[in-house]
Amino acid sequence: MRYGHFDDHRREYVTTRPDTPLPWINYLGSEATFGLISNTTGGYSFYRDARLRRLTRYRYNNVPLDCSGRYIYLRDNDTGEFWSPSWQPTRHEVEDYICRHGLGYTIIGSSYKGIEAQTRYFVPLGDSLEIWQLTLTNQRQEPASLSVFSSIEFCLWDAQDDATNFQRNFNIGEVEIEDGVIYHKTEYRERRNHLAFFACSEELAGFDTQRDVFLGPYRGWDHPAAVERGRSFNSEAHGWAPMGSHHVRLSLDPGQTRRIIFLLGYHENPPDRKFAPPGSQTVNKQTVKPVIARYLGEENVEAAFEALRAQWEAMLGIFQVETPNVHTNRMVNIWNPYQCMVTFNLSRSASFFESGIGRGIGFRDSNQDLLGSVHTVPERARQRILDLAATQLETGGAYHQYQPLTKRGNDEVGGDFNDDPLWLILSVAAYLKESGDWSILDERVAYDRRPGSETPLYEHLQRSLRYTLERLGPHGLPLIGRADWNDCLNLNTFSDTPGESFQTVATKEGKVAESLFIAGLFVLAAKELAAIARRRCLAEEAQRYHDEAAKMAAAVLEHGWDGEWFLRAYDAFGHKVGSQECEEGQIFIEPQGICVMAGIGHEDSRAKRALTAVRERLSTPHGIILHQPAYSRYYVHLGEISSYPPGYKENAGIFCHTNPWIMIAEAIIGHGDQAHDYYLRINPSAREEISEVHRCEPYVYAQMIAGRDAPTHGEAKNSWLTGTAAWNYVAITQWILGIRPTYEGLQIAPVIPSNWPGFKARRVYRGVTYYVSVKRVGKGDMVSLSVDGQPIEGDIVPLPPEGQTEVMVEATLK
């Protein structure tokens, strides 16, 4: 069953009924001001940091679902009837309801009794505000007398404090209302120098800024007193819950259309110019007023929307494909890179499942997210790498997360995830291959942001490898620490206290438990660093990394092969995890993917056998499961993994992030059919038809799909902010379609399904546009290239001479 459809031409997902299984959301903004917006306008806005600078309030896990947002109410002044064009919060009967989620904007609207209303929401480039453009049309035969009410609830900035510290917060709310603009200035009198504003393009009939006056006692957003009586109260908030609402009265002739603009924004004043006149407590509005004036102008708003559209056009234009498969095209050309940018911007901070409070920018997460966006925003990727590296510690270890606003490591989140530092090498390698900008390695970057501790970035990478080498266990395999990629495989935690967080509780010394996943990742990273060292003419060092990689690979083969697949780990007692010997958790997906990707087990049949075992034991029609059998009870020596009921999350869920590792591994061993088959199983567009089962948005990946052991097998959770986005993008574009940046040029090595006649791609790479046409003439993956009509040796297209901006590549697959 579907709840809408894709409009590929407009690059939108169109939801045609509002009662989707879960709120289907989109993101506004890509620089500083962000918003989450659901298909019924639920959600909230924030500036840079969803915890520390939250503009509007949102109640997670609320009843009814998703009920705080950017609400507009319409009221027929003749009959007193009122409704919301976005269905929520009044949930009246809707006609022609539609939500178009597009790239950085959302349009929501419906009709009711001949009044058509549509609002387009977006954040313009370069400024810190949300624009809501409401278009109203009277389709009745007679004139309509209408009232429009806007409404948002201000959050008192720190979302954590806002949701907990009521004894203080009910006293501090402050607003100013000037020329119809509502300014939210709580705590501005003291240490803040920022404020929020909510403006409207029309002359106001009234306003409200005190929530409980606007709503009336014991009423919800579905029935505000002001809207019901058709007149604002002109309330001024002093303490309690400041909100913003404008009331506009208008008459529309039959057939007439009117546009109204609302602006919800964030503004900072210099600390010494906060007040005007100086010495007063009145907000200085000198610099904010021009911003408001600009965007209240219809033409400026249209120009801003056009600029946003053009930016996405350019960003997506970097890689476009035409394959025989519609779900592949749609995801590669539109939604997957879009989701990659959202994960790049927000890491794991704010979604419908991430509260914006608990998690900031993840070290391992953001290094991986970058793999899917480095070609889209290379300059921003460069800065991100430097920011991440600056939270590395002198030991080479890393803070697991940092706050986006301060860029400082977040101490409240546990550390000692021993895989963390290695991901930095992968992101830097990806950046170098994409951009050719070797200067980044010489950038001086501090440790723990401590002034005076700076070394070249290259040394950060060296320390990352050393961090693993200095932490090897009894089998010469990497010690796992608190956990590796699988946050929940807590082999040193031994937690028996209810409620204790596995992510932060102190761990045992951890001198025994080893991770095969980190071993595979180390081999991958050591090979990457060797390749970098070689190109920096550090031949000896490169050789050393090669040797270390070989030594680790040998240890994996000696102590990490279980007979038909790679082991997962050794626990704190030196017992195997992920082995036929185990009662539960006999085989895990992660080491099969990462070891094959790292080139381990290719000399004999082991790589192939590991992947066969995955196919036989872990794959389902809904994707590949994390491990089998699921843990049926809690094991104190395994930790959080066994805390989940079977089939959910890390306990044998389909943890989508890991599936592309298997796709890549299958592609590496030449199984194009299998790789693409796995690709389609979790491809959201390919799952659109079963939306009632999948339940999350059909246009973006979710972190998890319930596994075979769960009663809700096939149901997705935790959509949007997941490493699944970047890794699927890498798997399909670089390994299945096979278009890969390398140090020497663009590699074309497709491993596509055997029944595809070929495909076409357009890739902008280091300023040159490559038009790639792949034709299949045989069943295999042997590729011959001709470049601008001339056959070349190998599968890497060399960079063209200076000045040439277009290259035609013909690839033949035999």
Distance between CA atoms of 266 and 256, rounded to whole angstroms? 33
* Residue of 41, 107, 109 lying closest to 74 (CA atoms): 109
Exactly one of 348, 463, 527, 681 binds ligand NOJ (CB under 6 A); that residue is 348
Name the residue number minimizing CB distance to ligand BGC: 487
Binding flag, residue 369, ligand NOJ (CB under 6 A): no
The sign one gets for the Cα dihedral 13, 18, 21, 26 is: positive
486 binds, among ligand BGC, ligand NOJ, none (CB under 5 to 8 A by kind): ligand NOJ
* Residue of 344, 376, 300, 380 lying closest to 127 (CA atoms): 300
Site stretch for ligand NOJ (CB under 6 A), options 52-60, 443-451, 484-492, 683-691: 484-492
Binding flag, residue 202, ligand BGC (CB under 6 A): no
Name the residue number minimizing CB distance to ligand NOJ: 487
Nearer to ligand NOJ, 121 or 485 (CB): 485
Binding flag, residue 569, ligand NOJ (CB under 6 A): no
As a whole number of Å, the CA-based R_g of the chain is 28
Residue 695: both structure tokens together = 């339940």
The residue with tokens 């590296």 is: 389
Residues 783 and 777 sit within 8 Å (Cβ to Cβ): no
Task: Report, in Å, the least distance between residue 617 CB and ligand NOJ.
Answer: 20
Q: In 3-state terms, what secondary structure has residue 136?
A: strand
10 Å CB burial of residue 726 (0-12, 13-18, 19+) is buried
Contacts of 605 (CB under 8 A, 6+ apart): none
Exactly one of 419, 650, 795, 810 binds ligand BGC (CB under 6 A); that residue is 650
Task: Report, in Å, the least distance between residue 707 CB and ligand BGC.
Answer: 14
Task: Report, in Å, the least distance between residue 400 CB and ligand BGC.
Answer: 8
Distance between CA atoms of 193 and 273, rounded to whole angstroms? 9
214 binds, among ligand BGC, ligand NOJ, none (CB under 5 to 8 A by kind): none
Phi and psi (nearest 5°) for 741?
A: -70, 140
Binding flag, residue 419, ligand BGC (CB under 6 A): no
503 binds, among ligand BGC, ligand NOJ, none (CB under 5 to 8 A by kind): ligand BGC
Nearer to ligand BGC, 411 or 689 (CB): 411
* Residue of 244, 284, 290, 292 lying closest to 268 (CA atoms): 284
Exactly one of 319, 467, 485, 729 binds ligand NOJ (CB under 6 A); that residue is 485
Q: In 3-state terms, what secondary structure has residue 705?
A: strand
Nearer to ligand NOJ, 285 or 649 (CB): 649
Task: Report, in Å, the least distance between residue 650 CB and ligand BGC.
Answer: 5
Nearer to ligand NOJ, 106 or 503 (CB): 503
Binding flag, residue 365, ligand NOJ (CB under 6 A): yes
Nearer to ligand NOJ, 330 or 568 (CB): 568
Binding flag, residue 362, ligand NOJ (CB under 6 A): yes
Task: Report, in Å, the least distance between residue 709 CB and ligand NOJ.
Answer: 18
Residues 152 and 244 sit within 8 Å (Cβ to Cβ): yes
Task: Report, in Å, the least distance between residue 428 CB and ligand NOJ.
Answer: 18
Binding flag, residue 486, ligand NOJ (CB under 6 A): yes
Task: Report, in Å, the least distance between residue 354 CB and ligand NOJ.
Answer: 9
Residue type, 279: G
Exactly one of 211, 364, 460, 559 binds ligand NOJ (CB under 6 A); that residue is 364
Strand partners, 576: 570
Backbone angle region of 227, left / alpha / beta, with phi > 0 → left and psi within -120 to 50 → alpha: alpha
The sign one gets for the Cα dihedral 453, 373, 312, 700 is: negative
485 binds, among ligand NOJ, ligand BGC, none (CB under 5 to 8 A by kind): ligand NOJ
Nearer to ligand BGC, 487 or 514 (CB): 487
Task: Report, in Å, the least distance between residue 721 CB and ligand NOJ.
Answer: 8
Contacts of 432 (CB under 8 A, 6+ apart): 438, 440, 441, 532, 743
Active-site residues, by number, are 487
Task: Report, in Å, the least distance between residue 488 CB and ligand BGC.
Answer: 5
Distance between CA atoms of 527 and 599, rounded to whole angstroms? 10
DSSP annotation string for 710-758: STTTT-EEEESSSTHHHHHHHIIIIIIS-EEE-SSEEEE-----TT--E
Binding flag, residue 175, ligand BGC (CB under 6 A): no
Q: Which of residues 114-173 bind ligand BGC (CB under 6 A)?
A: none
Binding flag, residue 416, ligand BGC (CB under 6 A): no
Binding flag, residue 726, ligand BGC (CB under 6 A): no
Exactly one of 174, 487, 514, 709 binds ligand NOJ (CB under 6 A); that residue is 487
Q: Is the peptide bond before 698 cis (omega within 30 degrees of 0)?
A: no
In the shown chain, the binding pattern of residues 472 to 501 toward ligand BGC, with x for contact by CB under 6 A and - for none, equals ---------------xx-------------
The residue with tokens 């370069």 is: 126
365 binds, among ligand BGC, ligand NOJ, none (CB under 5 to 8 A by kind): ligand NOJ
Nearer to ligand BGC, 20 or 503 (CB): 503
Q: E-strand spans in 720-782? A: 739-741, 745-748, 758-765, 768-776
State the DSSP code for 751: -
Binding flag, residue 58, ligand NOJ (CB under 6 A): no
* Residue of 754, 741, 759 lying closest to 381 (CA atoms): 741
Exactly one of 101, 622, 649, 763 binds ligand BGC (CB under 6 A); that residue is 649
Q: Which of residues 647-666 bind ligand NOJ (CB under 6 A)?
A: 650
- CA diameter of the chain: 85
Nearer to ligand BGC, 20 or 349 (CB): 349
Q: To the nearest 10°, report the CA torsion of 774, 780, 786, 792.
A: 150
Backbone angle region of 301, left / alpha / beta, with phi > 0 → left and psi within -120 to 50 → alpha: alpha
**CA angle, 744 then 748 then 753, to 5°:** 155
Q: Applying CB under 6 A, which residues contact ligand NOJ?
A: 348, 362, 364-365, 485-488, 650
Q: Applying CB under 6 A, which residues contact ligand BGC?
A: 359, 487-488, 503, 640, 649-650
